[in-house]
Amino acid sequence: MTAPHDGPSDGPEDPVVYDLDADCTLSDVVEGNRYHAEVNGVVEYGVFVDISDSVSGLVHESNLSSDHQVGDELVVELTDIRENGDLSFDTVDVDEYETRSIEHDYEVADTGALADAVGDSVHVEGEVVQIKQTGGPTIFHVSDETGVVPCAAFEEAGVRAHPDIEIGDLVHIAGVVEEREESLQVEVSSLDRLTGDDADEVRARLDEALERRAEPHDVEPLVEWPALEQMFPDLREIAKQLRRTVLESRPIRVRHHADGDGMCASIPVELALRKFIEQTHQDPDAKRHLFKRLPSKAPFYEMEDVTRDLNFALEDQARHGQKLPLLLMLDNGSTAEDVPAYENLAHYDIPIVVVDHHHPDPEAVEPYVDGHVNPYLYDEDYRITTGMMCVELARMIAPDITDELRHVPAVAGISDRSKADTMTDYVELAAEEGYDESFLTDVGEALDYEAFWLKYDDGRNLINDVLNVGCDDEERHRELVEFLAGRAREDVDDQLDAAMPHVEHERLASEAHLYRVDVENHAYRFTYPPPGKTTGEIHDRKVEETGEPVITIGYGPDFAVLRSDGVRLDIPEMVSELNDEIVGGGVSGGGHLVVGSIKFVQGMREQVLDALVEKMADAELDENLQSTSIGHESDD
């Protein structure tokens, strides 16, 4: 940078005329010095000239020796700086002179500290992470070491400003900090792409800060459970990836199974990520654009869902200038049934991260995912529910939400019928927050009930009230749960009154009880409970009634829902064998070892069910093996 210029420079040498950098401000000029200028306006009493992007003044007509037009270049002398900041110039007629360049001496502001600079001129350096064209200015979202700020540049209404700037460019922006609708925004006076050493320096600084800020918090587990704690290093990696994704302003789309455990997994993560977005982004709309939770009715990622998600992502990219999202699969995503959807996403830059407790197909899934945490990968099983894992994941992202989440693992475990010994510890932890086991059961029932009626809607505020996470009305929460759980029990009773007389029973060669019911023809359709829940309720009553090993099948024209207690079924393996053995059966499905669902071609139903029963009859009995879930709903 050129040394400061202190005063008039006439002398024995050629006079000096200063050429100000576009970023120069009033602090860079001195009375009596001469400057290169450009006419920006002509009025009756003179002409207005610019000597930088933000420094302008008047040459009075009495000091003009000729006529000028907008765009004319001339040399002027600064004659007066008034208290209000107005500048007066005279024209200077010089033939020979030395031009000296003046760069603006500035400090780069932190975007996270702009609240103290409203009305001030600032300089920001960072990466462009989003470009949104509005009906007025172009909004460039710029990320630095401390956060993300929207910067508004105006060319003309609806016209893209700085069309050469793209997402991922490193830029230097000069402008004024303004408040817009209770948020901060930089009104851009100049915007330049950084190149060469300047860009390398900023990139290194940003990468170092990003790595540091993405580090998750160290948290102690809510209960002592070595089986879960061994997953903490990989859960930390997931937390780090999610925090980094927020810092990079890449949207996160959460897909979760629409049941109690799926919501106990997704709601805490949503709360944590929304808080982190709020801490790091000046734009109040960032939470809406950067996070979306999407329930899935099926226990895997269907082509219908991935097509919808991909379409919305591409529309948001085109409309809002966003990056394509990261997909976070919760209580879903570990099986070969997810692979076709993952293959579809592989055509685009969409990372996939999975936290799930369904029996996985790692060889099929892991080529497509960037992170995968599942208890089976650690020689554990489904008793560690996704909700239990995700409460710890959420605390790693935002530990200050811990007090809101202490009861959630117990709800997740009860909803998914976990028989882990540690369930006692989780229930006791919830009891410290005023939740007895009966009410925890009601919360899980209410979540399932609302999930059914919400269908594909996330119902965020309603579900938050039911689970009492991010809810500010304890009394309403308890009244709502009691009402919804009561309605659910009434509907279950009505459903079983219709279905139970049609339940067929047989004793298998293994001495296990087999119960079958046609839920398509002998249960109410399109109402609560759906086929999976209906089958689960029948199963639970038969287990209580017999006290012996029980298998229950609820079937329709092209699906079956399976439950077992005391029988060591490997449902994913059985589905694979049926698909190989029954040509034209179109058998697919999955789940846990003792709970799952399958699909098949309608015309092959009897053959598929008969073959399924034969395999069940050969299964080994295990009096200590208990089922874990209400059962996955079929697509019907």
pLDDT digits (tens, 9 = 90+) for 400-413: 999 999 999 999 99
Q: Assign 100 to helix, strand or coil.
A: strand
Res 89 pLDDT > 90? yes
Tokens 């540049």 locate to: 153
Residue 401 within a domain: yes
Confidence (pLDDT) at 623: 57
Q: Residue 409 has which token pair?
A: 């693992």
Query: Does residue 116 sit in the same domain as residue 141?
Result: yes
Query: Does residue 85 sit in the same domain as residue 118?
Result: no
Residue 339 within a domain: yes
C-alpha 464/C-alpha 454 separation (Å) is 13
Q: Assign 336 to helix, strand or coil.
A: helix
Confidence (pLDDT) at 75: 93
| Residue 249 belongs to domain spanning | 222-419
Instruction: Out of 154, 184, 213, pick the residue that ends a domain.
Output: 213
Query: Does residue 155 sit in the same domain as residue 174?
Result: yes
Res 7 pLDDT > 70? no
Q: Residue 460 has which token pair?
A: 């965020």
Residue 316 within a domain: yes
Residue 468 within a domain: no
Q: Assign 46 to helix, strand or coil.
A: strand
Query: Does residue 233 sit in the same domain as residue 164?
Result: no
Residue 385 within a domain: yes
Residue 396 within a domain: yes
Query: Does residue 190 sit in the same domain as residue 81?
Result: no
Cβ within 8 Å of residue 54, ≥6 positions away = 23, 24, 25, 26, 121, 174, 189
Instruction: Out of 393, 419, 445, pick the residue that ends a domain.
Output: 419
Query: Does residue 73 sit in the same domain as residue 158?
Result: no
In tens, the pLDDT along 273-314 reads 999 999 988 887 778 889 999 999 887 899 999 999 999 999
Query: Does residue 115 sit in the same domain as residue 98?
Result: no
* CATH code where residue 165 lies: 2.40.50.140
What secondary structure does DSSP assign to 447-503, as a single string? HHHHHHHHTT---HHHHHHHHTSS-S-HHHHHHHHHHHHHHHHHHHHHHHHHHGGG-
Res 93 pLDDT > 50? yes
Query: Does residue 69 sit in the same domain as residue 127?
Result: no
In tens, the pLDDT along 330-364 reads 999 998 889 999 999 999 989 999 999 998 999 99
- Among 83-87, 386-390, 614-618, whose mean pLDDT is lowest? 83-87
Residue 355 within a domain: yes
Helix (H) / strand (E) element for 153: namely strand 148-153
Q: Number of structural domains, the chain?
A: 4
Confidence of residue 386 (pLDDT cuts 50, 70, 90): very high
Res 237 pLDDT > 80? yes
Residue 531 within a domain: yes
C-alpha 440/C-alpha 430 separation (Å) is 8
Query: Does residue 199 sit in the same domain as residue 235?
Result: no
C-alpha 606/C-alpha 453 separation (Å) is 32
Res 630 pLDDT > 50? no
If phi > 0 it is left, if psi is from -120 to 50 it is alpha, else beta; for residue 448 that is: alpha
Instruction: Out of 419, 451, 467, pick the residue that ends a domain.
Output: 419
Q: How far is CA 174 from the centre of its chain?
A: 31
Mean pLDDT of all residues in 24-40: 89
pTM, full prediction? 0.79
Confidence of residue 1 (pLDDT cuts 50, 70, 90): very low
Confidence (pLDDT) at 285: 79
Res 424 pLDDT > 80? yes
What secondary structure does DSSP assign to 550-579, as a single string? EEEEEE-SSEEEEEEESEE--HHHHHHHHH
Res 633 pLDDT > 80? no
Secondary structure, 3-state, 271-323: HHHHHHHHHHECCCCHHHHHEEEEEECCCCCCHHHHHHHHHHHHHHHHHHCCC
In tens, the pLDDT along 470-495 reads 888 899 999 999 999 999 999 999 99
Query: Does residue 286 sit in the same domain as residue 383?
Result: yes
Query: Does residue 536 sit in the same domain as residue 594?
Result: yes
Query: Does residue 270 sit in the same domain as residue 230?
Result: yes
Confidence of residue 254 (pLDDT cuts 50, 70, 90): very high
Smallest CA-to-CA distance from 22 within 36, 39, 33 is with: 36
* CATH code where residue 286 lies: 3.90.1640.30
In tens, the pLDDT along 180-219 reads 877 899 999 889 899 999 899 999 999 999 999 999 999 9
Mean pLDDT of all residues in 106-116: 88
* CATH code where residue 599 lies: 3.10.310.40
Mean pLDDT of all residues in 68-90: 90
